[in-house]
Amino acid sequence: MIQIRPVLRAFALPAAIFGAGLAAHAQIALPLSANSHAYEASPDVYQLIGEDDHFRVILARWKPGQSDAWHTHHGDLVNYALTDCKLEGQIPSGQSGAFERKQGEAGFNPKGSIHKVRNAGDGDCVLLIVERK
């Protein structure tokens, strides 16, 4: 049985990482896939496991050292850590930040800017993501 920890935390990344405006993206030429959903840009990390008219359910799994491709989330989301995770996020301007999620913790993100994430931990990082359409 999965236990949900009573403390729910947002990502500890600075707001600039995932909430930055498009002006920050003018510094780097990005691939067309940068505006793609995470599961389209990095199918090796993100797996769409269900959706309806309102939500998408996505399983994300990064191996140690693995990065996903530039992508964006088109709606607000909740993520739930199925394992302990130590991640680093980056936006195209070069700003980056690290955050950790303990197994059983949930985090909340507003729909955001273009970014990519790398597993900076020693083990697989697995998150269940529910994204609003």
Tokens of 65: 């050292």
- The residues that bridge with 90 in the sheet, in sequence order, are 96, 116
Percent of the chain exceeding pLDDT 70 equals 76
pLDDT in tens, 19-69: 444 334 445 667 666 788 999 999 999 999 999 999 999 999 999 999 999
Distance CA 22, CA 128 (A): 27
Rg (CA), the chain: 14
Does pTM surpass 0.75?
yes
Residues 34/108, Cβ–Cβ less than 8 Å: no
Residues 8/106, Cβ–Cβ less than 8 Å: yes
Q: What is the DSSP letter of 115?
A: B
- At 9 the pLDDT is 40
